[in-house]
């Protein structure tokens, strides 16, 4: 996204997650990776069905390992690493 349009990243992610109906409605197992290039913020929103597998700590660690790409405006590499599970080697 270019901008969260005045909303917090948590509010924007939650609204988008629900609007797009990400994941199975029955299992609530969706994952949304949301990046705003204007606010320079990123969030991983996880459905309740995956909270045991992808905890806040896990998603934070995934983001931490890829912040160097995002700080260098290498959004493609950073998001690719986050999505496919690779991480910054440094």
pLDDT at residue 85 in the model: 84
Is 13 within a domain? yes
- Predicted local distance difference test score (pLDDT) of residue 23: 92
Residue 90 domain-assigned?
A: no
66/57 Cα distance (integer angstroms): 15
Q: What is the per-residue pLDDT for 25?
A: 86
CA–CA distance, 21 with 28 (Å, rounded to integer) = 9
No. of H helices and E strands in the chain? 4, 2
The answer to whether the CB of 39 falls within 8 A of the CB of 3 is yes
Burial of 78 (0-12, 13-18, 19+ CB in 10 A): buried
Q: What CATH number does residue 21 fall under?
A: 3.10.310.50
Secondary structure (3-state) at 1: coil
Q: Which structural domain range is residue 59 located in?
A: 9-84
pLDDT per residue, tens digit, the chain (90 aa), is 899 999 999 999 999 999 999 999 899 999 999 999 999 999 999 999 999 999 999 999 999 999 999 999 999 999 999 999 875 455
pTM of the entire structure?
Answer: 0.83
């Amino acid at each position: 996204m270019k901008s969260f349009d005045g909303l917090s990243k948590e509010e924007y992610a939650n609204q988008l997650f629900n609007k797009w109906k990400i994941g199975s409605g029955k299992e609530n197992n969706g994952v949304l990776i949301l990046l705003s290039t204007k606010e320079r913020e990123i969030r991983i929103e996880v459905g309740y069905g995956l909270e045991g597998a992808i905890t806040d700590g896990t998603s934070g660690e995934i983001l931490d390992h890829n912040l160097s790409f995002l700080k260098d405006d290498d959004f493609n590499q950073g998001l690719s690493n986050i999505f496919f599970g690779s991480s910054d080697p440094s």
